[in-house]
């Protein structure tokens, strides 16, 4: 019984340890309850800690991490966009900074290039890469949650056969446009139009391609942040490996929403570059041959550590990562 609550308890403590300094050291109230009712931020910290512990308990003991991942990711997206809508309606207390920033992942890359400064979101983004690898694209991105929910409608075996050149081209174009806007000192109207157009394009990919293919097309084909995550995730020590005695039954293929599993990947002993370590494929492997790896730590413990870190970040983001 103790072992079941050990790691949920660790997640609780991690969330508390992160949020207390934020709550006490930052001058602007960062927690929603604190902004609505002064003094209630402490209650929100405790609630978020228990939330993280509960989710870790469910994901490690329910046997269906994929279902719980989509549930909490959906909750994150609802909270994020719900607060955006309320904030835009005139209640600016629901906007963290008091001003509007476009909730489009590409802005994380294009924004610093256009402004020539590193803001809060790029630092937050890079921190997740260091702590939890590609978890940004599996549980932490508000746009990715929409892609995940859309792709979950179709569970038939499928593949995108995406082209790497398309992903890199989109990334190059986004950075180039940001540089040109900066160079020619473009006004806010043009910046808003281009940013909105890119966001609408992303939503179109989610609604029409991800739903049809049953794969997260926005995250693996369209989003430039996804390209960065795919390659920079290796600064993190976690890995997902496929054991050599894999039978190549291919049951895992239809459970991978990121198009990261193919016969070649099974032969190589590791998922493809678009793998986000989400763990959805692992529950389909009857022999438990797809595993997390962390140095010389046993796979079962490596999995628990990864989920504790990732869910803890998710709970912290739920409390802080707003417009």
pLDDT at 130 over 80: yes
Helix (H, G, I), strand (E, B) or coil at 48: helix
Output the average pLDDT for the chain: 87
| Total residues belonging to the chain | 323
**How far is 50 from 58, CA to CA, in rounded Å?**
12
**pLDDT (tens digit, 9 = 90+) per residue, 80-123?**
888 888 877 878 777 765 555 677 888 888 888 888 887 777 88
Say if residues 100 and 274 touch (Cβ distance below 8 Å).
Answer: no
**160-199 residue pLDDT tens:** 555 567 889 999 999 999 999 999 988 888 988 998 899 9
Q: What is the pLDDT of residues 242-301, one digit of tens each?
A: 999 998 898 898 889 898 998 999 999 999 999 999 999 998 888 899 999 999 999 999
Range of the domain at 137: 2-320
3-state secondary structure of 242: strand
Number of domains in the chain: 1
Q: What is the pTM of this model?
A: 0.89
Query: What angle do the packed helices 299-320 and 120-132 form, to 10 degrees?
Result: 170
């Amino acid at each position: 019984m103790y072992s079941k609550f050990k790691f949920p308890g660790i997640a609780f403590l991690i969330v508390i340890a992160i949020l207390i300094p934020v709550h006490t050291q930052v001058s602007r109230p960062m927690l929603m309850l604190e902004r609505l009712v002064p003094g209630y931020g402490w209650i929100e910290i405790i609630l978020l800690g228990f939330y993280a512990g509960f989710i870790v308990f469910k994901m490690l003991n329910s046997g269906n991490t994929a279902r719980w991942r989509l549930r909490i990711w959906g909750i994150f997206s609802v909270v994020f966009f719900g607060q955006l809508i309320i904030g835009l309606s005139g209640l600016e207390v629901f906007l963290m900074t008091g001003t509007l920033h476009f909730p489009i992942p590409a802005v994380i890359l294009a924004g610093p290039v256009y402004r020539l400064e590193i803001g809060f979101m790029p630092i937050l983004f890079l921190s997740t890469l260091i702590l939890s690898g590609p978890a940004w694209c599996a549980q932490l991105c508000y746009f990715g949650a929409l892609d995940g929910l859309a792709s979950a409608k179709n569970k038939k075996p499928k593949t995108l056969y995406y082209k790497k050149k398309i992903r890199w081209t989109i990334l190059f174009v986004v950075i180039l446009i940001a540089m040109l806007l900066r160079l020619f000192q473009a006004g806010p109207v043009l910046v808003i139009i281009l940013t909105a157009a890119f966001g609408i394009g992303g939503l179109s990919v989610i609604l029409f391609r991800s739903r049809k293919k049953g794969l997260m097309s926005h995250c693996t084909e369209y989003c430039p942040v996804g390209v960065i995550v795919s390659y920079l995730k290796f600064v993190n020590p976690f890995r997902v490996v496929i054991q050599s005695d894999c039978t190549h039954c291919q049951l895992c293929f239809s459970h991978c929403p990121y198009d990261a599993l193919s016969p070649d990947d099974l032969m190589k002993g590791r998922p493809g570059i678009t793998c986000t370590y989400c763990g959805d494929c692992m529950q389909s492997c009857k022999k438990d041959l797809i595993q997390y790896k962390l140095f010389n730590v046993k796979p079962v413990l490596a999995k628990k550590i990864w989920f504790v870190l990732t869910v803890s970040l998710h709970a912290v983001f739920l409390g802080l990562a707003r417009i």
